[in-house]
Structure 1
Amino acid sequence: MSRRRDAELTNIEERLGYIFEDRQLLDRALTHSSAQASYSNERLEFLGDRVLGIVVAEYLFQEPERHNEGDMAARLNHFVRGEACAKIAKNIRLSDGMRSRAHDQDGVLADSILADAMEAVLAAVFLDGGMGEARHVVLRLWSDLLAQEPESFKDPKSRLQEYSQSVGLGLPHYQLEGSDGPDHAPQFHVVVSLDGAENARGSGTSKRDAERQAAKAMLEKLNAGLL
């Protein structure tokens, strides 16, 4: 391993708060398939998704019993979804250690790539140090998200549907307007409409994410009294 690569991994370890015994695990977790298909982080990503899920589920289960099963499921989904993983990856500047040829024209990695890498890193910690170390890393990095109040993590589509029905606007209708961008980092564009209301639009790295962003934009308009 080169000195430069060694320094990159050291910086990532400091931000994670965990020192690896086997640095090859971290190196692989930070390698996207576009850089080296036979040595990519895809299998680690699969495991890391499960590690993150069980740590957060355990955390929610151990909280005081003020949330029912449905609330816990909604919170779990919010804390482990791709947007959350990408946000954490950005917080610790995980891209500084990424090996990838999938950057956009501005040299930026797509959120989906960052999210996958974050999950892969959690798997690497789990394999290197066990569940205890993985739990420590997750709870430290996710601490701000885990402290969020219920309304802040409810899915925007659910919030919009609940609100629109409560005021007689009917059900929101989502329509895909199109997509663009490279194959490895597509952007989807969705418009949401309500009876008697101005349309709102959103974009994201998946159709589902674009729908959430459109719903969020509609809620912001409704809250601001612009419709």
Structure 2
Amino acid sequence: MKLSKELRAFEQRIGHKFTDPTLLMRSVTHASMSSPTRQDNQRLEFLGDRVLGLVMATALLDQDQTASEGQLAPRFNALVRKETCAEVAREIDLGAVLKLGRSEMLSGGRRKQALLGDAMEAVIAAVYKDSGFEAAQNLILRLWGARISNVETDARDSKTSLQEWAQARGQKPPSYVEISRSGPDHAPVFTIAARLETGAEAQATAGSKRQAEQAAARALLAELS
């Protein structure tokens, strides 16, 4: 099977050249484009989720030899959640090579978080089936990069901590306001403000709303303390 120019460029972006190109094609084929002769990526997504989980669990254990299960679990969840997979997918412009049905394409499927997250897991599984666990592990560690070392180290995230701080003082929960959004659809940049009813506020910028909200909450907690 001969890959298109777009898929060859995608191979370069992820740093893996497929021995079996049909695996790559299947990994980027959404269910809306499946047919009796064209498999979609749902089964690969199922497998990729498990491969990603094993790689991340191993990486976190290796990174922190003393962390308890209670500390590791939220870090693990932050790294394997669909939102994080979608962020990685945007960084490698996975949306540009997705094979979508017309209705899914017209509804903005190339930008949908769930769709991108699922496809990212499918690509991981495709690499695993093509070249084995070590190749998939290398891919994941390379694409997730600093996310692994920078993952939230507190068992509770910053938004939860800020809400508990406000409630302990009889205040309403903080609000999060989108100040701006910039950048292309596949790599957006959000600026979010975390605000308390007292008027206290802090802003942060990141590549996803969740990351920006967490960073803003963390910044506001630092100011309050």
TM, length-normalised to structure 1:
0.70
Whether the 8 Å contact between 1:53 and 1:80 is mirrored in structure 2 is: yes
Is the aligned partner of 1:114 residue 2:116? yes
8 Å contact from structure 2 (residues 96, 110) kept in 1: no
* Conserved 8 A contact 1:20-1:128: yes
Question: Structure 2 length as normaliser, TM-score?
Answer: 0.70
- What do the CA deviations read for 1:182-218 (whole angstroms, capped 9, x no partner)? xxxxxxxxxxxxx9679xxxxxxxxxxx9x79x7699
SS at match of 1:49: helix
In the alignment, the residues of structure 1 paired with residue 64 and residue 139 of structure 2 have an alpha-carbon distance, to the nearest angstrom, of 22
Maintained 8 Å contact 1:86/1:111: yes
Superposed CA deviations along residues 110-145 of structure 1, whole A, max 9, x for unmatched, are 111111000000011111111111100000001121
The answer to whether the 8 A contact 1:45-1:116 is kept is yes
Q: How far apart, CA to CA, are the structure 2 residues paired with 1:157 and 1:163?
A: 10
Shift of 1:37: 5.2
Cα distance in 2, alignment partners of residues 220 and 61 from structure 1: 25
Preserved contact between residue 103 and residue 109 of structure 1 (Cα < 8 Å): no
Q: Does 2:40 match 1:73?
A: no
CA distance in 2, matches of 1:9, 1:87: 19
Q: Are 1:46 and 2:46 counterparts?
A: yes
Q: Identity across aligned pairs (percent)?
A: 39
Q: 1:109 to 1:151 in 2, by over 3 A?
A: same
What value does the CA root-mean-square deviation take over the aligned residues?
3.6
Question: What are the ranges of 5 or more consecutive residues in structure 2 without an aligned counterpart?
Answer: 175-195, 200-208
* Structure 1 CA distance for aligned equivalents of residues 84 and 98 of structure 2: 18
Aligned length: 192
Question: 2:96: which partner in 1?
Answer: 96
Cα shift at 1:18: 1.0
Residue matched to 1:207? none
